[in-house]
Amino acid sequence: MIFQSVGSHTLTESGGVYTGMIPMVDELFEQLGDYVSGCDIYAREDASAWFGDGPSPGEWTEEPIGSDHDSATLGGTPDTPDWWAYSLKFWDDSGVQKWRVANHSGTTEAAPWYLGGGSKEVEQGVPMSGEMDWTALSMYAAETDIGAYLSPIDPLTHPEIPGGAATKGGGGACWDMDWSWGSEVVPLQFAGFAVQVTDLGSNNYRVTLTPAAPTAVSMTAAFTESIGISVTPTSVDFGNLVPGAASAAHVVTVTNTGNIAEDFSASIENESPASVYTGSPGLQMNTASVGSWTPTDVAVDDTEVPSLVLTVPADTAPGTYEATLVFWAAAH
């Protein structure tokens, strides 16, 4: 939204505090901003605008807000008011720069300044009001009211209806466009505006309000794949066996202790003497050779439970035979 001095409506500046009131400009005509005729309200797309002229929010009707944010200036059903119906007022309150965006219920495009009461210029409605930080490095505007709108009967003789904006999605967390004599509430995208003031000379100023970017924390994280496997028990004793006869089955539990899915396999190593565990039929896992045991896509913390059976070849000489059954894990 861009406001700019025109005619006798100027701002005075003293010590970084501005006082006075200036109207919004038609950006297309003035070739400012994004050159869109009317005003940019920054209403959330796919949100709602509430229109009405009744004395209570219950008499308002809802209109969806499109991606083009039409104003009545562009024709059709508006989802934002016309640019000429806004003015920006500044004043100093105990050293704090205050501001208010005011709508004038009696304005027209030809006469945007409504003179309520005949001789006194009166701002009708309190659609947005708050505080501004006018320091050189952090010009920022923050809303402080909860929204209110004036009676549609006569805003000079009937009091505001406080909180009207909050009942239709506005309030302290939103910028509330409360439109009286044809009311509208438009929750805006950010709860703050960045402020830019351009001195045009001779007490003329241009004030640009744009949604302030929210404060953000940059975060990074790294994920390192970890392969892990555990086996219990860590030893198996097949006992005294008769060559050619199968041993009793012994069960081992193999667990994925990594942080990704894994593929398992197994091999026989350190066999002494040779050919007992690797012979025929030798050691079998789940009734098949050790090399054929290849579970895949084992999830983290999941287990496989193979059954081990050793059959000593018939021509094996008496003795003690040892070997190591090694279990392997790889990323799936």
What does the pLDDT look like over 153-206, one tens digit per residue?
Answer: 554 555 555 555 555 555 555 565 554 444 455 555 556 788 888 989 888 999
User: Average pLDDT for residues 8-14, to the nearest whole number?
Assistant: 84
Q: How far is CA 110 from CA 30, 85, 92, 96, 114, in A?
A: 16, 11, 31, 34, 11
Highest mean pLDDT among 9-18, 26-35, 117-126: 9-18
DSSP annotation string for 126-184: EEEEEEEE-STT--EEEE----EEE-SS-TTTS-EEETTTGGGT-STTS-----SSSEE
Of residues 126 and 331, the one with the higher pLDDT is: 331
> Is the CATH code 1.10.287 the one for domain 229-331?
no
Delimit the domains of the chain by residue range. Answer: 2-211, 229-331
Percent of the chain's residues with pLDDT above 90:
27
pLDDT in tens, 216-266: 788 999 889 999 999 999 999 999 999 889 999 999 999 999 999 999 999
